[in-house]
Structure 1
Amino acid sequence: MNKPKIGVVGIPGKWSTEVLADRLEEQTGFRAVIDMSQVELRLDTNQLMFHDLDLMTLDGLIIKKISEVYSPATEDRIHLLSYAERSGVKMFSPTHSVGNLINRLSGTLALQQGHIPMPKTRITEDAEQAFATVREFGSAILKPLYSTKARGMMILQQEDSDEAVRDALEKYRQNQSIYYIQQTVKLDGRDLGMVFVGGEYLCTYARVGDKDSWNTTINSGGRYELFEPDAELIELGRRAQACYDLSFTTVDIALTDQGPVVFEVSAFGGFKGALEGCGIDAASAYVNYVLHAVGWQVSDLKESKQQEVKQHD
């Protein structure tokens, strides 16, 4: 069997994309970082081209990052990849799973149907209902349907005036089709990223927030630390990610005064939290999982490399 050729759909130059491509190249000798903005589907020839590379000829594609910013256009890119998937190219994660998580609403509904504890959440198109919900919740967060790393989120405080709340709701709706409103929860200054590879638990890290920011994201000055969860918390993370069929993911969990809640399950998940918080090379773990899934054992790759060295000598 020839060495597998696995491409990485990602953002060229971004650390998580490049480190994943590095780990694949170390194992297989093949490297391809695919920018979806430069991909062309040729239905007349049954090709999915990225420059001179036909993605239909690959053994698999790892969807590390399908776009820099989530938007409805991101779903168009998923449709292109699903064409290759239906033709036999293995996708990590499957396109239907990624598609369910690009839109925050569909991802939330899957968690709700899986009976996963979440903060109180209301969704409506009606501005007056949205206003009443914010006032009922006291403090609330408006979340865009397409966003990552808290981008575009707006926090409304209990002490905000009615006029300020209405202004915020109007501003939010200018770029959103629907109000997605979530009640704020009391954190201890951190939330958790629980990492799973192929549905198996790998590790958990904490994102510790900057005291000057309302969220704990690294973009807002947070930092990573190791966290050792108990079996019950790991089981919660396992149940949350099991609502989807994901090859690699991070489950965002918050420890609150009313028990743990799940904020979201990532469509892709990053590697830096596991590396800096847990000291674990999650990219390597993911590559080993993918190579096994396409029918190639890591030991086979090592043996192949040794044979190449002998032939060269």
Structure 2
Amino acid sequence: MTKRIGVIGTPGKWSTETLADAFAARTGHRQVIDMGAAVLDLDAGRLTCDGVDLCQLDGLVLKKVAETYSPDALDRLEMLRLAEAAGVRVFSPAENVIRLMDRLACTVTLRNAGIPMPKTIVTEDEGAARDALEQFGSAVFKPLFSTKARGMVLLEAEAPDAGAQIAAFKAANPMMYVQQKADLSGEDLGMVFLNGDYVCTYARVSQTGAWNTTIHSGGKYAPFEPSPELIELGRRAQAPFGLTFTTVDIALTPEGPIVFEVSAFGGYSGAQKGCGIDAAALVADHVLAEVSK
């Protein structure tokens, strides 16, 4: 019997459509689900989107729950728990992703697992944030909900308007996440895992001299061959989250490797362009094997 797998993502986006194509090629069923159009009826026990009850599908793959991260995106994940309770397999499980999208939740999990990270201060107090900036010399102020460096601000301790910049950041981000700027030497790494197994590593290489290497800021993908020790670090970093497909963001600094975060959604484009690997095909094969058990 043909399995019906829905892909939760952003209609029209390359990675979402590529993943949906991979399932269509294997099952003949193709469905892209925009959670912004989903309706949860708790009394009826239905989660519908475009007239389809998601609770009747064999599986759901989370490519992107929302175009931008926010507490509202967490609510969309909560909606998926009804489908899980109805017996639908969700890849990655909604509750695992809920504990990951908030940058602070991800950071605390990594710290508790003993993963090396940049020095970080989290506070709602502007004076403490200023003290952290003075301690670090140069720091990146990061929103708790963001991707591709959106909303991040690089501040220098000696800047005459540092206090005003901190106040402006706090106005939009009451809980301030202040992280010492790392020496990236122009690149950082994305290490890809499928069901906890290592797949590949790609580099994001700065082309513009920007302080970050994200593709959003002009970075380019390139292949990278990590050492066994670096792969083991990535494996330990992603292990606590229990994700189906994930990418660990790693930087090689003069003081040693550090982990920035673990992503529940990224890595498809990097695996393709940096490593020549069709991650969508790998995920589709894995998901279909799981729901067929």
Aligned-pair distance for 1:270? 2.9
Instruction: Give the structure 1 partner of residue 138 of structure 2.
Output: 139
Aligned-pair distance for 1:292? 1.1
1:16–1:270 CA contact under 8 A, matched in 2: no
Instruction: Give the structure 2 partner of residue 287 of structure 1.
Output: 284
Instruction: Give the structure 2 partner of residue 278 of structure 1.
Output: 275
1:247 paired to 2:244: yes
Of residues 169-178 and 18-27 in structure 1, the stretch that sits farther from structure 2 once superposed is: 169-178
Counterpart of 2:98, as a letter, is: G
Q: Distance in 2 between matches of 1:186 and 1:168?
A: 22
1:92–1:290 CA contact under 8 A, matched in 2: yes
SS in 2 for 1:250: strand
Counterpart of 2:164, as a letter, is: D
Task: Give the one of 200, 208, 212 matched to 1:211.
Answer: 208
Instruction: Give the structure 1 partner of residue 2 of structure 2.
Output: 3
SS in 2 for 1:24: helix
Q: Distance in 2 between matches of 1:24 and 1:114?
A: 35
Of residues 171-180 and 250-259 in structure 1, the stretch that sits farther from structure 2 once superposed is: 171-180
Aligned-pair distance for 1:177? 2.4
Aligned-pair distance for 1:143? 0.3
Structure 1 residue ranges without an equivalent (≥5): 297-313
Instruction: Give the structure 1 partner of residue 177 of structure 2.
Output: 180
Aligned-pair distance for 1:42? 1.4
SS in 1 for 2:240: coil
Give runs of aligned pairs for residues 143-154 of structure 1, distance below 5 A.
143-154=142-153
Aligned-pair distance for 1:47? 1.0
SS in 2 for 1:285: helix
Instruction: Give the structure 1 partner of residue 186 of structure 2.
Output: 189
1:97–1:267 CA contact under 8 A, matched in 2: no
Instruction: Give the structure 1 partner of residue 28 of structure 2.
Output: 29
Aligned-pair distance for 1:154? 0.2
Normalising by structure 2, we get a TM-score of: 0.98
Q: Stretches of 4+ moved more than 2 A in 1?
A: none
Give runs of aligned pairs for residues 52-131 of structure 1, distance below 5 A.
52-131=51-130
SS in 1 for 2:202: strand
Aligned-pair distance for 1:46? 1.3
User: Residues 90-138 of structure 1, C-alpha deviation per residue, up to 9 Å, x if partnerless?
Assistant: 0100111110111100010000011000000010111101101111100
Count of residues in correspondence between the two structures = 293
Q: Distance in 2 between matches of 1:248 and 1:259?
A: 26
Q: Distance in 1 between matches of 2:82 and 2:45?
A: 9
SS in 2 for 1:242: helix
